[in-house]
Amino acid sequence: MILTIRHETVYHYTAPLAYTIQQLRLSPRIEPQQRCLAWHIATAGKCHSFTDAFGNVGHMLTITGPHDEVRIEAEGVVDVSSPERGRLQNQNDLSPLLFTVSTPLTAASARIQDFAAHHLHGMRLPTRDNVQSVQSVRSDDLLKLADAICAAVAYQGGSTDVTSSADDALLLGRGVCQDHAHLFLACCRAHRIAARYVSGYIDPGSSAHAESHAWIDAWVDDDDYCGWVSIDVTHARFMDDSYCRLAIGRDYDSAAPVRGVRHGGGDEKLEVHVSVSSSASAQ
Instruction: For residues 138 and 224, give the distance between their C-alpha atoms in angstroms, rounded to a whole number.
Output: 11
10 Å CB burial of residue 40 (0-12, 13-18, 19+) is: exposed
Task: List the domains of the chain with CATH numbers.
Answer: 2-80+257-279 (2.60.40.2250), 84-255 (3.10.620.30)
User: Contact, 121 vs 115, CB < 8 A?
Assistant: no
Q: What is the pLDDT along the chain (283 residues), one digit of tens a residue?
A: 999 999 999 999 999 888 899 999 999 999 999 999 999 999 988 999 999 999 999 999 999 989 889 999 999 999 999 999 999 987 667 889 999 999 999 999 999 999 999 998 755 544 445 445 678 889 999 999 999 999 999 999 888 988 999 999 999 999 999 999 999 999 999 999 999 999 999 998 756 555 789 999 999 999 999 999 999 999 999 999 999 999 999 999 999 999 888 887 788 899 999 999 988 876 5
